[in-house]
Amino acid sequence: MDQTEIEQRIQKAISYFESGYNCSQSVFMAYSDLYGIEQETAAKIATSFGGGMGRLREVCGTVSGMFLILGLHYPFTVPTDKEAKNTNYRAVQRTANLFKAEMGSYICADLLKIGREPQAPVSSERTKEYYRMRPCTRCVALAAEIVGKEIAGIG
């Protein structure tokens, strides 16, 4: 994967988000085809991580989407394979730190500048005001870029 393909996948993630998919789905779906996961399955897998995990406003859904991709790229499937586990954890921390360096946090509530409390389990309406007032589209683009560069070995 080169920078041009990463840019295309960033745009795909933004397009998913702007069409109504949640933040986590948008990032995960932009790359899941590389691992043989169809769009509908990818949407299902990432569903619960939007809104900082079901609007709990914890870890940003875009960051969770990155982590889902990293699990596919750096899998840990054999309980005794400590090196595989550590490789994944290093990638998780590396990408999370890049996201935090740019956005100031990887916690949804911090990014939205709201209290760190669960919100009603009802998604917000996607209006022009929604997109204008929130950093979510920027988070989607950044997470898609960071994970793309990570899996491409560009950095």
Given this model, what pLDDT does residue 116 score?
80
What digits encode the pLDDT tens for the residues 3-56? Answer: 999 999 999 999 999 999 999 999 999 999 999 999 999 999 999 999 999 999
Q: How far apart are CA 64 and CA 27, in angstroms?
A: 9
Given this model, what pLDDT does residue 80 score?
97
Count Cβ atoms below 10 Å from residue 5 Cβ, excluding itself.
12
Q: How far apart are CA 89 and CA 16, in angstroms?
A: 27
Question: Domain-by-domain residue ranges, the chain?
Answer: 3-152
Given this model, what pLDDT does residue 68 score?
98
What digits encode the pLDDT tens for the residues 67-83? Answer: 999 999 999 999 999 99
- Cα–Cα distances (Å) from 96 to 2, 62, 84, 105, 125, in that order, read 21, 10, 18, 9, 28
> Tokens 């979510």 identify what position?
136
